[in-house]
Amino acid sequence: MSIETKKLGLIEKLMQIKEEGILQQYENLLKQAHLQYRAEKSIKAIEEGQTISLSTFQANNKEWLNNKASR
């Protein structure tokens, strides 16, 4: 089964739920799973040396903000 098929199956199941409390539980589970995924991805990137210095990070953010503001 492809990932797209699985996604559609989950969406179909969610569409059948009528109680807001149950939907909230699913939403909380998805948020928790997403945060766990991001944390694991970040740890792997750190272990592989895919990091930048704080000063570079700050400079990149400042440049991004300036570009965003000038649009």
Structure confidence at residue 11 (pLDDT)? 95
Write the pLDDT tens digit of every residue in 14-70.
999 999 999 999 999 999 999 999 999 999 999 999 999 999 999 999 999 999 888
Give me the DSSP letters along 54-70.
Answer: HHHHHHHHHHHHHHHHT
Is pLDDT above 80 for 71? no
Write the pLDDT tens digit of every residue in 3-12.
999 999 999 9
**What is the reported pTM?**
0.65
